Structure 1
Amino acid sequence: MANKSKPIPSLVKDQELVKIRRGQIIRAAVDLFVEKGFHKTTTREIARKSGLGIGTLYEYIQSKEDVLYLVCDFIHTDVLQQLDEEMTHGHTGRDTLVNAIRDFFRVMDRMQDYVLLIYQELKSLPGEMLRYVLAKEEEITSRFERILERGIADGSLLLEPGSVKLMAHNIVVLGQMWAFRRWALGRHYTLDEYTQHQTSLILQGMQPKDQVAT
């Protein structure tokens, strides 16, 4: 069962406006957190960079930890939506896996500052928020587990059931590695080249004999 996000209270009742303003806050906060770090950034600085007054900011969040939580929830929600959309298509497990890896790596590229921020500052979240964020990480891994299991079931992937969870974690880490080490990898590979190489490595040993040359 999916974990429901902890609602962040807002004094504003217009949910569309809340979404817009929190989007501004998230983008401003990421820039500041990456530049200065979570602890050295003040809510007043977040308000200024997001184009809001400090009083207005507190109509949408209650604390700096709320902002970090919203950043984490934003990226996880985006990733899960991409993977769920890919899984609704009528592909074989192998085709779904290839497409899901591509989509996941693209999200990691597009949100690399967010990804770095999550792993640098995750420890700053209070208990309930931290548990939710970690559970969302597990949800992403579980999507890849389901894709791998589909491939095993339809015969398009050869993988021992006991290796499914580990392989799913490997895929997630390889996607995140593009964000963590792009400063080095980007000198040698484009995103598409990196994705192609990693996908090939992931598929090695999992392809039935009639698909090895494809």
Structure 2
Amino acid sequence: MRKKNVPSIVKDQQLVKYRRNQIIQSAVKLFIQKGFHRTTTREISKLSGFSIGTLYEYIGSKEDVLYLVCDAVYDEVIHRLHTYLNTELEGIERLKLAVESYFRVVDQMQDEVLVMYQEAKSLQKEALQYVLEKEMLITQSIEQVIRHCVDSHLLTLDEKQIKLFSHNILVNGHMWAFRRWALKKSYTIDEYIELQIEQLLNGLKGQAMSTMLY
């Protein structure tokens, strides 16, 4: 997984990090409002608080901004998820925590997650491949928790079922961001998490019963 080299003429790496963080925060707001293609670099620079010339000292193109946004969002999601999972819990309780943790990260980063999934398709092939591999790191973190339950004989799933279950967890988490306009009319985030965990685990119990019957 090779990170894209985003050009910068500024040598001070601390300043580069600071300015790019400003750019990322401004870009997320604009991409949510207008979308990637309708947002201009001039608008991004203005909202960031500096000139268009200064903006281009830290990037080479508007696509670089989108790449920086996606890369930063994935890194933050992975960091927060691992922070939540830094616990002594094991087995099914750890699986419940993994589901809850991912959903809470999505809740905390709704705008960023929405931008990432709506606009990443505009990246060029190599950059898109990189951010998709970051997505797989998140999926694999969930898979590890599920696989531990299987290895401990708490769940009966084969490899394909483990992978599909982990994808189901991520999709249900994304739904909180994608359909928040509807879901928030009926549920708090706590209610949503509780019901989703209940349905996910009941689905596994039903699957186990079907396997026994056949």
Q: TM-score, normalised by structure 1?
A: 0.89
Alpha carbons of structure 1 residues 110 and 87: separation in structure 2 relative to 1, 3 Å = closer
- More off after superposition, 143-152 vs 97-106: 97-106
| CA shift for structure 1 position 88 | 4.6
Greater alpha carbon shift after TM alignment, 35-44 vs 185-194: 35-44
Q: 2-side partners of 1:45 and 1:162: how far apart?
A: 45
TM-score calculated relative to the size of structure 2: 0.89
Contact residue 97 and residue 148 of structure 1 kept, 8 A: yes
Distance 1:187 1:205, change over 3 A: closer
User: 2:182: which partner in 1?
Assistant: 184
**In the TM superposition, what is the alpha-carbon distance from 1:58 to its structure 2 partner?**
1.0
How many residue pairs are counted as aligned between the two chains? 205
Distance 1:146 1:17 in 2: 37
Measured in 1, the distance between the counterparts of 2:38 and 2:180 equals 25
Paired amino acid for 1:19: K
Q: State the 1:206 CA deviation.
A: 4.1
Letter in 2 for 1:186: K
RMSD, aligned CA? 1.7
Q: 2:137 & 2:75 partners in 1: Cα distance?
A: 10
Q: Secondary structure at the match of 1:204?
A: helix
| 1:15-73 alpha-carbon deviations (Å, 9 max, x no partner) | 22222211110111111111112111110110000101111111111111111111111
Partner of 2:147: 149
* Structure 1 residue 183 displacement after superposition: 0.4
**Deviation for aligned residue 1:9:** 2.1
1:205 deviates by: 5.0
For residue 32 of structure 1, the aligned residue among 19, 30, 33 is 30
**Offset of residue 122 of structure 1:** 1.8
Instruction: Assess if the C-alpha contact under 8 Å between 1:10 and 1:59 holds in 2.
Output: yes
The 5 Å alignment of 1:92-107 reads 92-107=90-105
Distance 2:141 2:89 in 1: 15
Give 1:95 shift. Answer: 2.1
Aligned counterpart, 1:89? 87
